[in-house]
Structure formats: structure tokens, C-alpha cells
Structure 1
Amino acid sequence: MQGEDAPTNRRTFLTAVGGAAAAALAGCTDGEGTPTGDGTSSSTPSDTPTDASTPAGGPQSGGTLRVGFESELTGLDPHRTESVVSWLVVFNVCETLITFEDGAPAGRLATDWEIGDDGRTYTFTLTEDARFHAPVDRAMTADDVVYSFERMNQDGAMGSDLVAVDSVEATGEYEVTFTLAETFAPFFNFLGRVPWVIVPEEAVEEQGGELGDFQEPVGTGPFQFDEYEPGEKLTLTAFDDYRADDVPLLDAVEITPIPDADSRVAALRGGDVDMVRGVSGSDAETLREDAETKLSRQRGTQWGQLHINCSEPPWDDPAVRRAVAHAMDRSAIVEAAVSGYGQAAWQPYAEESVWHYDLGDSRRTHDPERAREILDDAGNPLDGETLTIKTNTRYGLMETTAELLVAQLGAAGIDAETEVLEWGTQLSDFLGGNFGAMAFSVPFKIDPDRHYYGFVHPEGTQFSHYGEDQPDAQRMYELLERGRSETDQDERVEIYGEFEQLVNEHCPWISVARADGLAGLRADVYGVQPWLLPYTRFWTMWTED
């Protein structure tokens, strides 16, 4: 195997992914502290280990886990949905070729792989033990892999990164070969992305055949889709024919959307549900102090930022963006939004990660006077202007970021206001470019290409709308292209380091925080296994009688 994204061993992969991965895997352990305004570290709340008091008898089989989600599901077609909570369901029903265990690549539907010397050919040997759920009820083969990747490579699917794939061929009943048009360094890591799951053609066709029609997903995973009452409840049941090593302990999982955070916590403390996602930092302390509940913590699963549309006046002016970056007090936002369960951040990757670039004194730290100077030097482009920050009340980090930033901007002499939207409306505005700036967050990504290419490059989704008229745009595009084609690890680190310097200089977005993923559990729930990405593996969990 050649190159960083074709790791030959666990150590190579951990070096590539870096400390951010280790942080995400830290789960229920003591942490390293929250940066203060001067970049030093202050103490953070200690964690209560989820499984510290596992009963002496060990795991128990049976029972139903009742889970409260923080938002409604917005579709379950694995190759179409853009919702994190929908992906969590898909992740337990369908499977990718590879996954990640303890920070290292591991087979899921693939048992072995070989990468050609030119870095363009990837051949995977598939397990012969994977079966699709009813009503398909047959073995998964290489033809299903070919079909699935062809399906996710169409317009509107969540497979835009497949542009690098020249062909996918079944080179045996249980062997599939990908040939890339050119070297594509992130490809191997991307194969573990939740949207890149394998599905059976006949089940898709039975439900209509079009992208978005596949709302009762059929996969090979440890749980199978049972029923869904939109807005009420989704039920997954254990797949009894699942491969022996990971047969679920639970009989079923019932998922109920409870968008209101207070109602979610009340449902958990009252025993109406066994687990809730999207716990706020302030509620975390309440759950830790309640003898009937406990807390699960995954570090750095969310990257919070002020997302900016660089084509929308006055945000198209780099001076405005730089001034806002200096007006922002990240540490105050982190403390208020997540009660210390996170870190102030100037980039998505933590200091321990190989992808982290040390900006040193060039970091745009909280400095209201510097914000005023930048605007004065630029001829006061915000004279008579009021900046609008879009946000929602669904996610505390986004809501608090917007609210505090408006106050912080005011302290720097900049008029600003919030526009509070329903979460679905804000997400639609983000995808459609209907904003000047909004408080936003995205899940942690293993490879920097996943964070940066789609934000900036014109051949990606370019969510930041960083057009050719913006400073150093061509250089930033070039760096992102090189980051995809270069397979040497050290070279990629240098490429993304230079890119981070340009982001710090021109502020196509403004990083705010790396926030921890918090979930609340009843005291009799066990088996939570913190993972590299923010998706819960229900098949490892169990409840005590």
C-alpha cells in the first residue's frame, strides 16, 4: 500500500489522522483543558466514565433502547440525505467497505485490500458472510458494490468526491476494483464515510428507484429498518443473521425526535427514554449529579465556526471579515455555549494533530481595538451597516455563538443583529447560499480535504463562495488541488499548513470552537464505545434488567 491514505499499519494511520482523532476517541476520560483567552489551558469538567460501574455479570442480551434525537430525520436514503441524525440511523443499518477501530482502518464489508504502486488502483476482497436484510435476504456481492457506487455518483447524491473514480468493476464475485483517473490522496479514508454505504438494487427499485426514494433502507448492518412514523418514532430491530462478531445485544432501538433540549433532558431524567443526544454543557452537569443518569463524552466531534458567504456584501470585503475575527472572544463563547466541554479554536484540528498548523502570534485573537483599526484603515466599510448573523435555537453552540458575537461586535463599535431561524430553514439557507454570515458547525472530518475543498474550491460545493476576485483565491484553489493529488504525507502537511495561513489572513470563515459531543444515559445503560466520528454504534450497547 502506498501513500498516507493507504496505511499499512495502525501507527501510520494514527500519525496521518493525528491528535484530533485521538481526542475524538477519548470518550469518557479526563481531558486536557479549555484554552483561555491567552491560549493557555484552564480546567474542564471531569468526565464520568460511562461504563465504570459495569455489573459483574457482564453484558446482557435483550431489551429495547429508547433514544431521544435532537432533531427530526430529514430523509433516510443513504445516498441522498444530508442530515447527521439520519446518517446515524443509516450507520447502524447499512455498511461501508471499511471503518475505523481505535483510530486505525479496519475492514467492514471488505476483509482485505491492495493498492497499486501508482496509487490509482484499489482492489478490495469482500466478506462472503454479509447478507442483506429482508425482503432482499441474500448475500452481498461485488455487483452490489458496483451498483451502489454508480448510484452515489449521480447528480444530487452525496458522492461528489467520486469525481476521482474512473471505474468500479466487479473483478470477482467477492472482489471489487476501483481505478482512479488520477491519484487522490483522501480516497481510502473517504471509503469509511457514512454516505458511501452498500445497498441492494432490487430494494431501491422496489421503492421507486430514484435518488431520494429509498426511505426504508435495506443494508447488511447489525440493525434492520422496521418502521418509521415521521415526527413520532423510528424503530430498528436486531438483524439475527448478522455476522457473529458484532451481533447486537439489544433486541431493538426506538428513536424519537425531541427537538427541545429541556424536554430531552426531562425525558431522560424521568425515565421516558434511555439515551439522549445533543446534551448542552449546562445540562451535562445536571446529568452527572443525578444518580439515575450519567454522561458520555466524545471530544472534539464538532467544529463550530462563523460561516461566511464571501460573495455577499459587506462580507465580500476581507477587511470586514478580519475585523469580525478580532472582535470575537472565542473563550467566552465556548464557556457560555458548552460550559467548558470544548476548546476555543482557530482551525478544526487540535494541537496534537499532524494537520494542525501553529499560527503563532498571527492568530486573530480577541482585540476590539485592532478590529476598529482594520475598519478605519479600510475606509470604514461598515459605516451605516448592520451585520446579520443567522442562527437557530436547536443547537446551543450556534445560538450562543451568534448571540455573544453580536454583543462582542457591539463592543468593537460594529452594529450587528441575529436572525433566528428554524433549523431546517437555516440548513436550506446554508446549502443555497442564502446568507451573509451564520453561526454553524460541522462534524469532525478525518482528512482536511473534507473540511476545506467543499468550502472553497469552485469545483466543490464552495459553501464559502470564495470567488476568483477574493485575495489569493487561485493559490488557495491550487493548494486544495495539490492536497488531493499529493500522496506524500509530509508534503500534504505543508500544503494544508500554507492553506491555513491563507485562511487566517483572509478569513473565508472564522473558526470558533472544537466542541465535544455529549450524550445522556440512564444509569442502567452500558456499552457506549466512543468512535472516531460522531455516530453511535447501537450494536455495542445494552441495558441492565
Structure 2
Amino acid sequence: MSKVSAFLRKKPLIASLMILLLVLTAGCSGSNNASQNTGKNQVVKGGTFVYGRPAPVTSFDEYSEITSNNAFAIDKVFEPLVAFNKDGKIGNWLAKSHSISKDGLTYTFVLRDGLKFSNGTDVTAKDAAFSIQQHLIDKGPLAISAQVASIKAKDNKTLVITLKEPYTPFLSELANFSNGILPNNFGGVSEKQFFKKPIGTGPFVVQKWDPAGDLTFVKNKYYWQKGKPYIDKLVYKLIEDDSQAINQLKAGEVNAIESLPLENANELKQNAGTGVLTSGSWSIEQLFFNTLDKHFSDVHVRRALALAIDRPALTKALTFGYAEPANSLLPPAILYNTNKTIKALNFDTNAAKKELAKSAYPHGFSTNLLIASGNSTTAHLAQILQQAGKTIGININIESIELASFRDRFFAYNFSTMINGGQADYPDADSILAFQTDPKGFSKSYWTHYTNNNVTKLLYEGQKTPDGPARAKIYANLQQILADEVPYIPLYYPDVLIGVRSSVKGLVVLPNGSVRFDSVQITK
């Protein structure tokens, strides 16, 4: 998330998920569009699709990136062996088939026939082996966590990966954008040079790129899905302010906008020229504590704030029916979520005061809340949290800074509390649990530095345990500990909302917040 929404890799997805996808047909003008009759359906080809986004694409390095601004561009250029669909189900992608041995140690993938990279060269199992091996070498924030014994190209089409021990999330992990397939040995150039001019199998190729501004893709003429993408160009247009993005959508200056604020959804639905695509998501909005801060290293302080916050009320006030109050770290769309059964610290001001009295700061204190500017929903949420703190004697100063600086601050652990989003990147509960609870991981428990040996033990047990009742019990116990010790307070599970013109057809919203443009059409 990307594991994180503000981030996030969002930033930043699960077996047997029930994800609602509401696809509206909608109208933005596209010039020089040609129609092709395909039987019952008429496909509109050509045109340039302009997509408004709140942050620029700064890198295509799939191994080192995590934030949604980059992840959701990387996945247009590089594709994995297996991928998840809008319902969160894993299926073959570059692989035409795959199999897993009974002992859970050997994974065999057979590549599709006729696969080519965007430069016209054939894709082989050696390319796939190199790509995954390189990810193991580079590691990065979304490193492959499975203990890999070997990666071998059995022949030009067959890749065999052998694990040292079972790792249940492995297939889902391979579906992540960070495991896209690229040319063997980076096509003969350095890794740094390669990611400046990336070559992949995806539907689009980078044509023009300003790391501080807009990005233009053109269609990949060698794309393996015959006839796709339908559009000729895809432009990522930088629009940092929500209001400007909505105004440009209404005016027809863009075809769609990412990260539509929940409070503006009904406005666009009621507007004649616009609509909203929505899906349930793998996201969760949270209040994070830096446990290196002396105040928030105290569990009683964290528990007091959790008890002071009315989560159902703030969800209702902020999300306009496009979210569900959160008690658990795992969103409802993720298998093993316990939101309905967990014993949470529900709103109780008197209990909150008593809890604070048990802390080292019984009379309260002052602290800062870090947020990214430009999002009205986040700003309103910060004010609600500020007021909740005030009721128990905790004075919260809101520090609103632009998105890039916000990221720099929490990457450096330079915050006391912050509002940010959690995001599963691939369809397994471990995607979000590992990122937010592993003190040895890249983010040190999502920049909180939270450490609980029992939580860490349960996390590792869950990774090795096959899906079923035993794994469910492990994750239920883990989630309850997090609800009791609240290194972060789950607030609500927001839907993914994409604002669209009413001429847009075929745009697919994924539960990780990304969208697929390979089938998008701009109708008249």
C-alpha cells in the first residue's frame, strides 16, 4: 500500500471475500475514438484517459516502493504470475497454470504461450526466476517473507519455486505488485537505469514522466490480452487538492479521480455528468501512536484515548454511509476478521478517565497529531479526535503538513500520533498483520515500534498454519491483544471510491484501491 492510504500502498486484500463492486457507465469526451463491433457488445477504442491523482509517481522500482502513488503505476507496467480480481480471488495471470505440492513446499508455474515484454522480446521462465530472485536480494518494504530454498527455470515455460518450510500466504504474496515479472538481468542495463525506463508485460508503457508532476502511458502493442487496452493513452494528472479534483471532474477536464473523499460521493452521484465507482476494501483508517514517545509508551494512555473516542459516531459523521466502524485491525472483507466478535474498548468517557488515572500522566498532557493536508475528511477526523482527547485532559495540537513531508516525518518516526490508513496489498490476512505487528519488519510495526512477544509469536504461527480453524484461532487471539493494548486505534473501514465521468465504461476498481484500465472505454 500499498500498505497505507495516505502512503499506501494503501498503503496497502483474501480468500472467500465478498467485495461489492458497483460499476456505473459514465461521460467524458474522447477524441478520435473508433468503434469495433464485437457481436452483442460494441467496444469503443482509442482516446486518452485522464486520471486525477493526489500525488505524483516518483519511482517504478517495484522492489523498493510501497506507497500507493507509486504502486498503482508500477502495476500498470509490471504484472505477476498470479493476480487477484475485484472480488479478491487469486487466479492465474502471466502463468496459465500453477500447482502446489501436498507438503506445501513446491510451487510450479507454467507461463502463457506467446508472452512478450513491451519491447517485443519473449518472456521466459528465466525472466520470472530472475525477477523473484532479485526481489529476495533487494528485499525492500514488501519483501518476500517465505523461506525460499530455490527458484529454478525448469524449461522456457516452467518455473519451480521450492520453500524451506510451509508459508501459507505465499501464493497471495506473489500476487502483489512487488512481484511483477521483468527481463532477466534487467535487460542488460543497471537496475537503476532499468527502473527509469521500465520494460514489463503490462497493458501500458511509460511515454513521458515527470516525477514531480504528470505521467503519460501509451498502450503496450505486445500486450498478451489480445485487443487490449482499448484506450491509446493513459495520463496520470497530478491534482493535490480534493476540491480542484472534483471541479475538474465536473468540468470534464479529467475522466476519473482517485481517492474521492467520502463526503463528496453523493454530490457526484447527483451530478448529471458524473458518477461513483465503489467497492468494499481492504483498507482501515487508524490513529497511530509512536510508542517511542514517553506518553504513548504507556498502555494506559493509549487505552484511555481508545475509550474516549466514539467510533460509530465519527464514522457516521464522516463517511456518509461509505464505511463501517472498526474494532479490529482486519477489514471485514479479509478472512479471519473479528470485527463483530472482538472485545473492543468501546466509547465510555468515565472509563477513559479512570484508565488515564492508572497511567503516569493522570492529570493529562499535551501532544501533537500529525496529518496530511489536502483531504477534508482527514481534517474533520482530526478535529473529532482533538475534542475526544480534550474530554479526558489530553490536549492535542493538530499539525497538518503536505503529503510528501508527512511521509518523511513518519518514515523518520518523527511524530507522536498520526492519522493514516492501513492497507492489505494481497489477499491474505498476513498482508496487513505482518506489516503492522512485526517489530523486525521494514516499518517496525507500522512506524509505531510496538513490540509484544506473544503477538510476534502468533504472527509467525499464523504464517505457517494452513487455512482453517487453527489459523482462525491464532488470528483471533492476535487481534484481541491488539484491541487490548491499542498501539493503533482502528477507526473505520472506508470503501474505495473513484469519481468518474458518466461516459466512462469498463473501469474496474480493485479492493486494494488500484484500478484496471485495460478494459476502460470512453463513450460518446
Letter of the 1:183 counterpart? P
Aligned to 1:270: 251
Deviation at 1:131? 0.5
Query: What is the alpha-carbon distance in structure 1 between the residues aligned to residue 191 and residue 334 of structure 2?
Result: 42
Aligned to 1:252: 233
Deviation at 1:339? 2.6
Deviation at 1:354? 3.7
Contact 2:27 2:503 in 1 (8 A): no
Deviation at 1:504? 1.0
Deviation at 1:72? 1.7
Aligned to 1:6: none
Distance 1:204 1:375, change over 3 A: farther
Query: What is the alpha-carbon distance in structure 1 between the residues aligned to residue 290 and residue 240 of structure 2?
Result: 28
Aligned counterpart for 1:17 among listed residues 10, 15, 19 = 15
1:463 aligns with 2:457: no
1:493 aligns with 2:472: yes
Query: What is the alpha-carbon distance in structure 2 between the residues aligned to residue 121 and residue 396 of structure 1?
Result: 48
Query: What is the alpha-carbon distance in structure 2 between the residues aligned to residue 361 and residue 151 of structure 1?
Result: 40
Deviations 1:365-393 (A, max 9, x none): 11111110111233x52535212211111
Q: How does 1:3-402 map to 2 (within 5 A)?
A: 17-18=15-16, 21-23=17-19, 26-28=20-22, 49-51=23-25, 58-101=42-85, 102-134=87-119, 137-155=120-138, 157-201=140-184, 203=186, 205-206=188-189, 208-210=190-192, 214-245=195-226, 247-351=228-332, 354-357=335-338, 360=341, 362-378=343-359, 381=361, 383=363, 385-402=365-382
Distance 1:316 1:356, change over 3 A: same
Contact 1:483 1:492 in 2 (8 A): yes
Aligned to 2:482: 503
Sequence identity (%): 23
Aligned to 1:34: none
Query: What is the alpha-carbon distance in structure 2 between the residues aligned to residue 106 and residue 246 of structure 1?
Result: 21
SS in 2 for 1:220: coil
Query: What is the alpha-carbon distance in structure 2 between the residues aligned to residue 382 and residue 268 of structure 1?
Result: 50
Deviation at 1:241? 2.2
Contact 1:186 1:484 in 2 (8 A): yes
Distance 1:424 1:311, change over 3 A: same
Query: What is the alpha-carbon distance in structure 1 between the residues aligned to residue 217 and residue 239 of structure 2?
Result: 18
Distance 1:213 1:239, change over 3 A: closer
Query: What is the alpha-carbon distance in structure 2 between the residues aligned to residue 302 and residue 458 of structure 1?
Result: 21
Contact 2:53 2:259 in 1 (8 A): yes
Deviations 1:264-317 (A, max 9, x none): 111111111111111112221221111111111122342111122223211001
Query: What is the alpha-carbon distance in structure 1 between the residues aligned to residue 24 and residue 319 of structure 2?
Result: 19
Deviation at 1:352? 6.7
Query: What is the alpha-carbon distance in structure 1 between the residues aligned to residue 306 and residue 364 of structure 2?
Result: 20
Letter of the 1:98 counterpart? V
SS in 2 for 1:242: coil
Contact 2:371 2:420 in 1 (8 A): yes
TM-score by length of 2: 0.89
Contact 2:118 2:220 in 1 (8 A): yes
Contact 1:110 1:124 in 2 (8 A): yes
Query: What is the alpha-carbon distance in structure 1 between the residues aligned to residue 163 and residue 254 of structure 2?
Result: 46
Deviations 1:38-67 (A, max 9, x none): xxxxxxxxxxx5138999963311111111
Contact 1:314 1:382 in 2 (8 A): no
Aligned to 1:536: 515
Deviation at 1:176? 0.8
Deviation at 1:232? 3.4
Deviation at 1:209? 2.2
Distance 1:84 1:371, change over 3 A: same
Letter of the 1:169 counterpart? K
Contact 2:327 2:339 in 1 (8 A): no
SS in 1 for 2:152: strand
Distance 1:369 1:529, change over 3 A: same
Aligned counterpart for 1:433 among listed residues 413, 416, 420 = 413
Contact 1:90 1:217 in 2 (8 A): no
Query: What is the alpha-carbon distance in structure 2 between the residues aligned to residue 458 and residue 239 of structure 1?
Result: 41
Deviation at 1:432? 2.8
Contact 2:66 2:142 in 1 (8 A): no
Deviations 1:184-231 (A, max 9, x none): 11001111101110111455653x324x86123210111112111333
Aligned to 1:415: 395
Deviation at 1:459? 2.8
Contact 2:169 2:430 in 1 (8 A): yes
1:454 aligns with 2:439: no
SS in 1 for 2:420: strand
Letter of the 2:374 counterpart? R
TM-score by length of 1: 0.86
Deviation at 1:341? 1.4
Query: What is the alpha-carbon distance in structure 1 between the residues aligned to residue 522 and residue 340 of structure 2?
Result: 46
Letter of the 1:270 counterpart? A
Distance 1:258 1:113, change over 3 A: same
Q: Mean alpha-carbon deviation: is it higher for 412-421 or for 112-121?
A: 412-421
Aligned to 1:522: 501
Query: What is the alpha-carbon distance in structure 1 between the residues aligned to residue 337 and residue 156 of structure 2?
Result: 42
Contact 2:219 2:233 in 1 (8 A): yes
SS in 1 for 2:208: strand
SS in 2 for 1:124: strand
Letter of the 1:141 counterpart? T
Aligned length: 499
Distance 1:57 1:353, change over 3 A: closer
Contact 2:118 2:223 in 1 (8 A): no
Deviation at 1:262? 0.6
Query: What is the alpha-carbon distance in structure 2 between the residues aligned to residue 17 and residue 170 of structure 1?
Result: 28
Contact 1:486 1:492 in 2 (8 A): yes
SS in 2 for 1:373: helix
Query: What is the alpha-carbon distance in structure 2 between the residues aligned to residue 294 and residue 351 of structure 1?
Result: 25
SS in 2 for 1:534: coil
Letter of the 1:285 counterpart? N
Q: Mean alpha-carbon deviation: is it higher for 177-186 or for 153-162?
A: 153-162
SS in 2 for 1:123: strand
Contact 1:144 1:200 in 2 (8 A): yes
Query: What is the alpha-carbon distance in structure 1 between the residues aligned to residue 470 and residue 105 of structure 2?
Result: 18
SS in 2 for 1:139: coil
